Structure 1
Amino acid sequence: MSIDNLDTVKQLIAGKECGRVEFKETTGQLERGMETLCAFLNGEGGTVLFGVTDKGKIIGQEVSDKTRRDIAEAINRLEPVAMVQISYAPLPDSEKKVIAFHVENSKLNRPFSYKGRPYMRVESATTTMPQTAYNDLLLQRDGNRYRWELLENRNLTLQDLDANEVLKTVRLGIECGRLPEDTGTDVPVILEKFGLQKNGVLNNAAAVLFGKHEDMEYPQCLLRLARFKGTDKTVFMDSQRIQGNFFQLLNAAMAFIFKHLSLSGTTDTLEREEHLTIPYKAIREGVVNSLTHRSYKEAGGSVGIAIYDDRVEIENPGTFPPNWDAEKMKSEHESKPQNPLLANALYKRKVLESWGRGIGLMMSECRKAGLPEPEYRIWSDSVTLIFKCEVTNRPSTDQVPTKHRPSTDQVFALVKILDERELSVKEIMEALELNHRPTFRTNYLHPALDEGYVIPLYPEQPSHPKQKYRLTEKGLELLKQQ
C-alpha cells in the first residue's frame, strides 16, 4: 500500500485513530510508533502516520538523513524480520512530509517483538502483550505439535483414568450415532482412536477428560464456585473448590447452579416442567464452553462460576481466536476449538455441538425466556461470560407447602426420579445424568435422607450390595402436592 500523497493520507485520517491507524506528531515519538507498528504486526496490519496530530491535523515534519537512519535502525529491531513499507507524502509548498509506516497482515510470522518485547492492540491503544497471548501466537505459528493437550505425560497410566467414564463416552456416542457400533470396549484402543494415547503413552487431554484427579498433579483441573450476597464479592454465602476431570467438574458446576438458582414451574403439558432462572440449555452451554475451550497451559488457571443477586458470571483462562470480537461471536462463525482433542471426544459423547452453534443457542434461549442476551467480556488473558437475571437467596417451589418444601432443587429432582420406584445409587445417577458420586451424595442423596423424603431398603447396612432407595410417606406427599 503506497501512501505517497496527501489524498491517501487524508483518507486514512478520515477514519480517525482506530485499531489499524495511529497518529504521531513527529519521529520524536518514534519509539511509541514502533511499539504500535509491532502491535499491528501481531494483529491484522495497520499504518502509523508521523506528522499528524492526535486530532487528525496534518502538520508534517522535516525529513533529514538522520531521520532516515533512525527509522532504518528502529525497523531492524523488529523480530522476526518484518516487511515494513515506508512512504513519504510531501506537503504542498513546504519541505515537510508525512511519514507513513505500513504493514500488512503477517499472521503466519506472528508473534513479533520490538526490542525484545511484544505488543498488541486493544481498541485504539497499544499495550504490552501478556505472556499467555504471546504463547498462543507461538503455538499458532509453530503448528499443532506444541499444543498443551497433545503433550505426553509418561507418568500417566491407565490406572489413573476412569475406565467406566471412557466406556460411557463410547456408549453415549453410539446411542446418538456419532460413534460406530463396532467401536468396542477395549479402553487402550478407544483412547488411541480418540487421539488420547500414542504408542502406549497418554497425553494431557486424556487426564483432563477421564483422570482420577485425587492423586494426579493437574492443579489446573480446578473449578471455583461461589454465591455472593449482593452484587459484589464482599460477602460469601457459599463457596466450593472442586478438583476433578471434565465430567466431574461439569456435574459439580450444574449441581451448584441448581442449588442457587430459583426454579419456576409450568403445567402447559401433562407433566409439570421445571425452569431455572436462566434457561438450563443456555447456562449448561456456557459451562461446557468454558471447560472445553479454556486454556489449560497455566497450572494456576481455573474456571470460576460466581453467582450474584443480579447475574451469573463464568470466567475461564484463555482468549477467543485472534480477530474475534463480540459481534462475530453472535453471528454465524466457524468452529475453532482451542483444544480440538477435548472438543472431539465431547462431540462424540454429545456433550458439545460442532459448527460454532453454542453461542447462538445461549442467545436464543435467553431471548425466549425474556432475559437479556448473555455478554462476553474479553480480557488480555481471560474471558468472562455474563448472564443477567434476578437471583433469589433461596430456591423454592411455590406449590409445595412450607412444611414439605425441600431444602434444595436437587432433593426435589431426586424425589421426582424415585416416584414409586426402588432404585440403586447407580440407577438414580444415570436417571439424573450424573457421574460424580461424591457430588451426588453431598447434594442429592444425603439431604433427601436427612429431610425424611427418602429411605434405604437396608437402613442398618448402608453398603449392602443390593441397597436401593424409595420414597417415604413424606416424599410421596411431596409428589402429590405437585
Structure 2
Amino acid sequence: MEYQEIEALIALKESKNLEFKESTGQLDRSMETLCAFLNGDGGIVLYGVKDNGNVVGQEVSDSTKRAIAEAINRIEPFVSLEINYVRIPNSDKFVIIVNAEKQRFMRPFAYKGRAYLRIESTTTVMPQEQYNHLLMQRGGKYGWEAMVNPDLKISDLDENAILGAVREGIRNGRLPEVTIREEIPTILRKFGLLRDGNLNNAAAVLFGVDFYDYPQCLLRMARFKGTTKEEFIDNQRAQGNIYILLDAAMAFFFKHLSLSGKINGLYREEELSIPYKALRECCINSLCHRSYHHPGSSVSIAIYDDRVEVTNTGTFPADLPVERLMQEHDSKPQNPIIANVLYKSKILESWGRGIGTMVDECKRVGLPAPEFKTDGNFVTVVFKYNCDGVNLQLVNSNPTSNQQVPNKYPTSTQQVLELVGILKDGEYSVREIMSFLMLKDRVNFLYKYLTPALEEGLVSMKYPDNPKHPKQKYMLTEKGRKILEK
C-alpha cells in the first residue's frame, strides 16, 4: 500500500468498515474492532491516525510487531490478517494498516473469549442470540464443506474417481452393490454432495478436476538437507482432489525414505524407514480433518535427516486434548461430509482410530511414538527416525535414497527390473504380477514397481485411455524388451 492510498482512506472518515487508532497502545480496543469487522463485512484499522484524521504515525520496532501478532493470535478461530507498515514521507514514523477480510464461513469470531459487532462507526459486544445463530451456521449445515458452489457442475468432477470410491465401498461392505448401477447424480446425493441440483464444496475437494476456485486443495512437499529448512534437496507441489493428493504424498515418501524387505511366510514385505500405514493414516487425517475455508492454506510434508513432519491448518477438537486423542475416542470430524465419503470408500479405516494406528505402527518397528502438536492454528505430526540419538533403519551414506541397481541400468531400480522380468512372457493384471513377486502391499507395488516402469516407458497398458479399466493388464514395450535382453 502506498501513502497516497492511506490519505484516500482517511478522507473517507471512520465508518462501519474503517477505524483510526492513534497508536498500538490501544491494541485491545482495536482488536475488538477487528473482531467486529470479521463478524461483519470486513474492515481496516489504521494505527498512527487520530480520530479526527490527523496523521501522527508511530515508531515500529520488533516488539511492536510481536505485540500485534500476539494480539491477533487471541482472536478465535484462527484467522490470517494482512498487515502493512507504510512509512510517512520525510519521517521515521509509520502508519500501520491491518486489513480484516470478510470471513463468511468462519463466523462468529471472538477476542479474548468475547464476540463483537460493528454498528456504523461503533464497536459493541455481540448479543448472545446473534452469536448462537452464527455459531450454528458455522458448525451446522452451513459449514464450508456444505456450502453450495453454483458454478460447480457434475462435469467438473472425475467420474472415474467417483465410481472407484463406490467400488471400494462395495468391495469392503460399506456400500450396497446396487450403488454401482446408479446414476452419478444419485450417488452424489447419497454421498451428501448434491442437493437440489447444486454441488457443495466437499464435492470439489473429494472428486474435483479443476481447482481454479480451490487453491487450498494443495499439497506442498520438500526433502531438506540436514535437520533445518536452510537447504532443500527436492521441492514439489501437487494440486488436486483428496485421492490425487494422497497418491502424491505416498509417492513422495517412497521416493525419499529408505526401503527394506523381508520374507514373511509366502510374501515379501517391504518396509519404509517409517511404517507406510502410519504415514498414510497421517496424510488421510490431514487431508480429511483440516480447515479448508482459507484459500491460502495447504497440507505440507517436510522430510529431514532425522524426522518427517506433516502439517495442516486446523486444530484438535476443544473437548479432546492430545492425551485423550491417543486413546480410543469418538470421532468428531472437522468435515463430516468429507469424512463420511472417505469412510464409505474405505480410505478412512475406522472412526477415531487414526492416531492410535500411527502410534501402534511406529511401536511395531521400534520407533518412538509420533508427536502431535498444535498451536490452535496448525496441527503437526512429527515422526522421528531415531531414539536416544541412534539412527534406525536408515542408509548411513544417504538416509533417504533407495538402493539402486548397478550403474549399467542408471535409470531403473531393482524393483523395476524385477517387474520387467515378470512381464517377459505376456500380459498380466496387477493382482497377478503382485502374486508372482510375492508382494501383498498394493500401494508399495504401484509406487516402487509399476508407476516407475510406466514412466520409463518399459511397460504399457492394454487400455491406455482408461487406466482404471476393470480388465486392465500390463505388458512390456519394445524398450522394456531391450532391457530384458541385456
TM tier relative to shorter chain = 0.5 to 0.7
The CA distance in 1 between the partners of 2:319 and 2:247, in whole Å, is 33
After superposition, where does 1:81-480 map in structure 2 within 5 Å? Answer: 113=111, 139=135, 143-183=139-179, 184-213=181-210, 216-389=212-385, 392-397=398-403, 401=406, 403=408, 411=416, 418=423, 420-422=425-427, 444-445=452-453, 447-449=455-457, 454-456=458-460, 469-470=475-476, 472=480
Q: Partner amino acid for 2:194? A: Q
The CA distance in 2 between the partners of 1:116 and 1:328, in whole Å, is 27
Following TM superposition, by how much is the alpha carbon of 1:469 offset from its aligned partner in structure 2, in angstroms?
2.9
**How many residues matched?**
344
Which residue does 1:89 correspond to in 2? none
Q: Partner amino acid for 1:338? A: Q
After superposition, where does 1:39-54 map in structure 2 within 5 Å? Answer: none
Query: Contact (CA 8 Å) 2:138, 2:144: kept in 1 or not?
Result: no
Deviations 1:242-280 (A, max 9, x none): 110110000011011100011001123233221111111
SS of the equivalent of 1:296 reads coil
SS of the equivalent of 2:316 reads coil
Which residue does 2:39 correspond to in 1? none
Change (3 A) 1:164 1:440: farther
The CA distance in 2 between the partners of 1:205 and 1:422, in whole Å, is 39
The CA distance in 1 between the partners of 2:409 and 2:270, in whole Å, is 18
Deviations 1:172-218 (A, max 9, x none): 1111100011123310000001110001100000000000025x310
Deviations 1:206-241 (A, max 9, x none): 000000025x31000000011111111111111111
Query: Contact (CA 8 Å) 1:259, 1:410: kept in 2 or not?
Result: no
Query: Contact (CA 8 Å) 1:172, 1:350: kept in 2 or not?
Result: yes
The CA distance in 1 between the partners of 2:408 and 2:334, in whole Å, is 49
Change (3 A) 1:440 1:148: farther
The CA distance in 1 between the partners of 2:159 and 2:424, in whole Å, is 31
The CA distance in 2 between the partners of 1:136 and 1:475, in whole Å, is 68
Which residue does 1:106 correspond to in 2? none
SS of the equivalent of 1:256 reads helix
Change (3 A) 1:114 1:313: closer
Query: Contact (CA 8 Å) 1:153, 1:203: kept in 2 or not?
Result: yes
Query: Contact (CA 8 Å) 2:108, 2:135: kept in 1 or not?
Result: no
RMSD over equivalenced CA pairs, Å: 4.1
Q: Which moved more, 1:320-329 or 1:297-306?
A: 320-329
SS of the equivalent of 1:149 reads helix
Following TM superposition, by how much is the alpha carbon of 1:403 offset from its aligned partner in structure 2, in angstroms?
4.5
Deviations 1:131-170 (A, max 9, x none): xxxx999646854122100000010001100011111111
The CA distance in 1 between the partners of 2:209 and 2:461, in whole Å, is 31
The CA distance in 2 between the partners of 1:211 and 1:327, in whole Å, is 36
Q: Partner amino acid for 1:212? A: V
Q: Partner amino acid for 1:233? A: K
Whose radius of gyration is greater, 1 or 2?
A: 1
**TM-score (norm: length of structure 2):** 0.61
Following TM superposition, by how much is the alpha carbon of 1:117 offset from its aligned partner in structure 2, in angstroms?
6.5
The CA distance in 1 between the partners of 2:139 and 2:416, in whole Å, is 48
Could you tell me which runs of 5 or more consecutive residues in structure 2 were left unpaired when the two chains were aligned: 1-27, 33-106, 117-130, 386-390, 435-439
Q: Partner amino acid for 2:427? A: E
